[in-house]
Structure 1
Amino acid sequence: MDVARLAALDAAQAARLLSEVREAALAGRRARIAPRPVIEQSWGRVLRSGVDPERDRRSGLLSCDEVRRRREESALRHVLPVLREGLLPVADAVQHIMVVADADGRVLWREGASAVLRRADGLGFEPGADWREDVVGTNGVGTPAVVRRPVQVFAGEHFVRSQTSWTCTGAPITDPRDGRLLGVVDVSGPLESMHPATLAWVDSVAKLAEARLRDLHLASLERLRAVAAPVLARLAGRAVVVDRDGWTAAVTGMPYVRRVTLPKSLVPGHLRLAPLGSCAAEPLAGGWLLRAQERPLARAARRVVLDLARPDRAAVAVTDATGHWSRELSPRHAELLFLLAEHRAGYGAAGLAEDLFGDASRTVTVRAEMSRIRRYLGELLQHRPYRFCDDVEVEVSLPDDPCALLPQSTAPTVTQKRNAVHEARIAALETVDAPHPG
């Protein structure tokens, strides 16, 4: 069914037909015409998420301050001129509005014909509103964000009845550097003013926005490269200059790497990074200088303390020749490091999966998590099998209450450890309390 062409010829007929399709699908009946696959799949997801098709459900609006903060932090702010120039003139002419939402489905910008903006207010389609698919049903913001491609939603193809007088066309905007979803640009308005070329038009403008982001990124790396050149020229050894997101501007003494994974909160000082090992981080205008520490580590001084004493906060602390540093651990990383500390001989991926999940087949998950751990403990760990290096002193700090050892963990080995310590303490108490002979 070519809904776009039908609606362009007779909007009222298209609306009636789509209404019949929607009602039949919701009632579990076969309609005269099947819904488009992208819509049928979306309806299935929405039904599973519990959205009521007859109830206009809305989550709380973000405060004005939060909307302002998200606007300032969103990369989409850099491409608003591109979106406005490409979409608003036509949108105004056909009584539509342009909406830009972030990756969370929150409406950040909304511009266009004032009459249509007022109608949008009645639907809760306003700045700060949440238009994720699993919150408000199939729509031109939430659905493109899920399927990661442009989608046009006509009238009765909307899942929630209150939205069925609208047609929405949305296209995702992704970060050209890594494909991460940045948000969705959407053009919405009454069905009768819809045009069959709207989908291609909105998609083209979204791609122009992505091209603009790519140009901005390359220009920023060029500026950083100019700053880095005289600095790197004075250095001996390995070093890399990256922007604040870890994208490489220049290197010296080492092969080029496209990106360096940086900690969320990078501060000047010593740290470990995958391509460099132990290195020193120094701020530059617009980025960081990362210099490899070439002197050999004092192996005998390498010590790891796995702190599991607090049930709500696991951490690892490292002391070596470069100094002392610590890091909070996710529950999964705490489990893995505990297993490696308990079994210094090490694990293959299947054995680690068995002791972690009770399922030796889950090696893909294990390898992915161990790869992440090696980003910050790389020089202290070995693989094939996974284990701490032989010269690393490892200490585990356990909680006073055995039941508080990684309390959320269901890993078989962790559960056995909890039970064993608990039973040992009970046995010790019984021995103390037992009557002495004579």
Structure 2
Amino acid sequence: MTATSWSPTDSAYQAWLLRAHEELRANTLPPRATGPVRDAVLASWQRSLATVSEAGGTAPAALEGHELTDARRRHLFSAVLPLLRSRLIEPAVEAGLMVALGDADGRLLWVEGRPQLISRADDMGFAAGADWSEHAMGTSAPALALSTAAPMQVVGAEHFHEAVHPWSCSAVPVLHPLTRETLGVLDVTGSTEAVSPLVLPLLEATARAVQEELRARLPLAPPESARTAARRPRILPRSPAASIELLVTGRRTPLLRQGTRTIELSGRHAELLTVMHQRPDGISGGELAEQLHGSVTAEGTVRAEMVRLRKVLAAFPDLEIASRPYRLRGPVSSDLLRARAALERGDLEDALAHAAGELLPASESPAICRQRRRTATHLRELVLETGTSAQLWQYAQRPEAEDDLEVLMAILAIAPAEAPERSAAVARARALRGETG
């Protein structure tokens, strides 16, 4: 076995790595190993020895509470989160993997995945706010991507810490589009699927899309401003416009709001904005026609609707629709994407707060119906798995849950005898069963 023949599923390679760790701890591993360990990994191990205790395995918390919130707000990734969700986070999470977005210092600002996986990763300190730089946690894909400024994969026992050996990860650095300084890192972590041949191309394509989107959003700066920005690559160089809110859950009349300005949207305009908001890299007229009307032959109808929508959006100077492909340009957020993000990290309280109800309940568009079912199913599962009796009753007040006997039974299973939601759940369950008295 040679250094270029390593495989994430090769048990002989992993066994060799474990022996190499023992030699490393005993200080008998040569500066350049004769076995298959890769040069970049070996060099990282040697650097890690000077700064990291291998007996540990839990990342130190670097950011918490308001500090984490502020770091997220200031980082340029916050301006392109919809793109990151559609291009990377959603497909990776659906595949059973985690996605971490880190800053140039190796601090994880966002970590998203299914609740069970997030809980396992949290045990080793792989969580939002944690420091996963090389000097803090030793060899890992995000640490190597930052230290080498190149795409990296780290498999099992290639990690410096034993606690991280059950995991594998792939990561790529993201460059500031103006200064070319390292802005941050995109990471996919999980089983050996996290180092499959498909993952690095996905990460690299997403990094390029992020850089292009930021290039379009940031003003061209003179050399002096660029040099100043290079010293602070994670800070927005201008004050962003107030966010424009797209409110499309639990509403018969969807809204578009910025500050004190609010307009009501027609059903079709809300559908167009919802689909485009989830495709920050753009969508063709034919795709829109198929998603909203069920046929590419309706592309002419889409063009006409887009003309009318542009007139409506004239009330929001910070928001525009670009063409070829169609895409939204401006500081747009939505209750739908905030709810989905909360669901992905298992935060039921936030999910209930952001998703006021079903997505565009009056819409019959194929794409909207699929998204409505997906979000509603995820929310219901999370409520039943993790909800308190009060949260279950809060969910039961929604129109889509009025006749959900399983939710009522879940309330009765955990609610204290004196809890008001218990008696209310009993009354509704009896009514659903046709019981009296």
Q: TM-score range by the shorter chain?
A: 0.3 to 0.5
Rg larger in structure: 1
Higher RCO, Cα 8 Å, sep 6+: 2
**Could you state the TM-score of these two structures normalised by the residue count of structure 2?**
0.47
